[in-house]
Amino acid sequence: MNARELRELSPDELQARVREWKKKLFTLRFQLASGRLTNTAELEKTKRDIARALTVLKEKDHA
């Protein structure tokens, strides 16, 4: 999800997305540790999505 799409969401929706992505990241890390993760690029994508959402949340807090 790109930053433009995230900026259209409300702060509550953004926080929900962050929680969802953090759960996904936990699952991906667990799969990586157990050797079941086939697409390791998904880890980086999820981390970037979390960072993007948190950045937009901070922007909204300061505005």
Query: Which pTM value belongs to this model?
Result: 0.93
Domain boundaries, the chain: 3-62
Q: What's the token pair of residue 55?
A: 């950045």
pLDDT of residue 60: 93
Whole-number Å distance between alpha carbons of 34 and 20: 21
- Length, in residues, of the chain: 63
Q: What is the pLDDT along the chain (63 residues), one digit of tens a residue?
A: 899 999 999 999 999 999 999 999 999 999 999 999 999 999 999 999 999 999 999 999 997
Whole-number Å distance between alpha carbons of 38 and 1: 21
Whole-number Å distance between alpha carbons of 4 and 43: 22
Domain boundaries 3-62, corresponding CATH code: 1.10.287.310
